[in-house]
Amino acid sequence: MIIDATNTIMGRLATRVAKLLLKGEKVEVVNIEKTVFSGDPKQIVERYRARRGMQNKSDPEKSAKWPRRPDYLFKRILRGMLPKNRTGEIVLHNFIAHVGVPSELADKKIERIETKEATALDCRHITLLQVSKQLGWNSL
């Protein structure tokens, strides 16, 4: 299944994708950088900046890793919604996130998940691309 993530709320999209993965489907998400976090943009960026800065004082090598790239960041968020056992690891291998639409998927049928869009909610929001750029990702 190929899903377009344009203007969908991050948490709603991630939970739908997690459920599809647990059912055994292979899921690819395109335009992942256009996914939206709803809420105060400053607080959202500060939350992810703080997560990136957390360190295990006894062994910094074993600290949690939070990526900057939008596709990796979404996959990390999705991983938190899957079971913390072997099943969660296995189904995560059936997921691929793409920044933009790759040429090999351009001619295939791309679905949209029916959720409330951030633009329809009339709330403050920030895209995953903007969060990634403020965390230091400088591509695109």
High-pLDDT (> 90) share of the chain, %: 35
Q: Check if the beta carbon of residue 3 is closer than 8 Å to that of residue 27.
A: yes
Distance CA 124, CA 140 (A): 24
Domain boundaries, the chain: 2-135
pLDDT in tens, 28-40: 999 999 999 888 8
Q: Check if the beta carbon of residue 115 is closer than 8 Å to that of residue 16.
A: yes
Domain at 2-135, CATH from 3.40.50.720, 3.40.640.10, 1.20.1630.10, 3.90.1180.10: 3.90.1180.10
Q: Check if the beta carbon of residue 9 is closer than 8 Å to that of residue 128.
A: no
pLDDT in tens, 88-135: 899 999 999 999 888 888 888 888 887 766 555 557 888 889 888 988
Q: Is the pTM of this model over 0.75?
A: yes
**Would you state the pLDDT for residue 116?**
67
